[in-house]
Amino acid sequence: MLKRDLLKTILAGTMLTGMGLSMAVAASHSGFDGPSDGPKAADDKIIVVLAADLKNGGILGVTNGVEEAADKIGWDVRVLDGGGSIQGRTAAFGQALALQPDGIVINGFDAVEQQAALEQVAEAGIPMVAWHSGPKIGCDAPGGIFANVSTDAMTVSEEAAKWAVEDAGGNPGVVIFTDSTYQIAIDKADRIKETIEEMGGTVLEYVDTPIADTSNRMAPLTTSLLQKYGDQWTHALAINDIYFDFMGPALAAAGIPGDGSPKAVAAGDGSESAFQRIATGQYQSITVAEPLNLQGWQLVDELNRAIQGAPCSGYVTSPAVVDMEGAKAMDGGVAFDPANGYREAYSAIWGK
């Protein structure tokens, strides 16, 4: 079991608190640690991005990265929006198959949800890569997926929980928001809960509410939780930023200032709206961000490998704990896009 008096030691390597810098600032200026070789660009390919819900800032950020990388490698991209529902994603899969693309990117939903469609894609011999398609990251993910691109979700969850415990002086009162539609969301929330409790904090409530319906649910949920827990509720932790897109107005209506408690802490993904809230001190304190644009480039690189029968790279990107200082330092506070040369590195691999 972790001890409270070890907090500073645990956090020193990730938050760089002793240096007065956020992890995001350091990560933005370190060299690219991804692949240095691989196949040259395959010519004239058409790929389809199946986005779970383009209203989700993380999914949108990855999609933008795929489009940017595809433009560099010389491919055409078609983006299909699942609209935040299982039925919508099923329909998008059907449209993708009808297009007979050279490759498919599954963006932001569990592969097991669409098992029948995945089998059809595999039977058609169409390579698939994914972003956040399930708990197993890296090469040979379930469902015939060549590579599942992600940071280590458990590391992300632990960093979010550790920040909350440290910020509360070792004794936070936490409400955790997750969505049981997705196994990875359950796993992340469980790890948050475990870490909070191991470090001596209190989990007041574990709230299961659909990501796709946060716009309707978060305001009344927030009001109800404030009435139930009052000052005991020091930190709100969610499995991604979208939950906090809709929490602020309810907190403001209760007279809570933008930098007051409960403080919002996201275990992913690093959306534009989250960075804006963090940079301005308005109803979100940190996000454990993923380099979404970089991951879009990685998806294109992995798909290029799959199309040409080359091995998966196995690259796993690192997250960054982004606080106000870090958000202000990055592109006006709207994106975590490491200045580590990843565009140049992938372009060199592709011969572009």
Q: What is the pLDDT of residues 73-121, one digit of tens each?
A: 999 999 999 998 999 999 999 999 999 999 999 999 888 889 899 999 9
- Whether 324 maps to a domain, the answer reads no
- Are 157 and 284 contained in the same domain? yes
- For the question of whether the overall pTM of this predicted structure is more than 0.85, the answer is no
Name, in order, each residue with C-beta under 8 angstroms of 84's C-beta and a sequence gap of 6 or more: 52, 53, 55, 56, 211, 212
Question: Can you tell me the mean pLDDT for 188-206?
Answer: 97
- Are 96 and 143 contained in the same domain? yes
| pLDDT tens digit sequence for 1-47 | 333 333 222 233 333 332 223 444 444 446 899 999 999 999 999 99
Residue 226 is inside which H or E element, if any? helix 214-229
- Are 312 and 297 contained in the same domain? yes
- Give yes or no for residue 295 having a pLDDT over 60: yes
CB-CB contact of 42 with 76 (8 Å) = no
* Closest-CA residue to 238 (of 147, 318, 194, 177): 177
- Are 160 and 281 contained in the same domain? yes
- Whether 341 maps to a domain, the answer reads no
Q: How far is the C-alpha of 40 from the C-alpha of 290, rounded, in Å? A: 26
pLDDT at 57: 84
Amino acid at the residue 337: D
272, 289, 306: which is the final residue of a domain? 289
- Whether 249 maps to a domain, the answer reads yes
* Three-state secondary structure call for residue 289: strand
Neighbours of 276 (CB within 10 A): 15
In the chain, the number of structural domains is 2
Structure tokens at 322: 């982004």
Please give the mean pLDDT across all residues of the chain: 88
- Are 112 and 59 contained in the same domain? yes
- Are 203 and 274 contained in the same domain? yes
CB-CB contact of 268 with 317 (8 Å) = no
- Are 258 and 157 contained in the same domain? yes
Question: Can you tell me the mean pLDDT for 202-217?
Answer: 94
* Closest-CA residue to 292 (of 150, 165, 127): 150
- Are 173 and 255 contained in the same domain? yes
Q: How far is the C-alpha of 337 from the C-alpha of 64, rounded, in Å? A: 12
pLDDT-based confidence at 55, cuts 50/70/90? confident
- Are 127 and 216 contained in the same domain? no
Name, in order, each residue with C-beta under 8 angstroms of 276's C-beta and a sequence gap of 6 or more: 282, 327, 333, 334
- Are 278 and 295 contained in the same domain? no
- Are 167 and 226 contained in the same domain? yes
- Give yes or no for residue 140 having a pLDDT over 80: yes
DSSP letter, residue 315: -
- Whether 95 maps to a domain, the answer reads yes
- Give yes or no for residue 245 having a pLDDT over 50: yes
CB-CB contact of 145 with 111 (8 Å) = yes
List the CATH number of the domain containing 119: 3.40.50.2300
pLDDT-based confidence at 333, cuts 50/70/90? low
Domain with 308, as residue range(s), is 46-151+291-317
- Are 87 and 121 contained in the same domain? yes
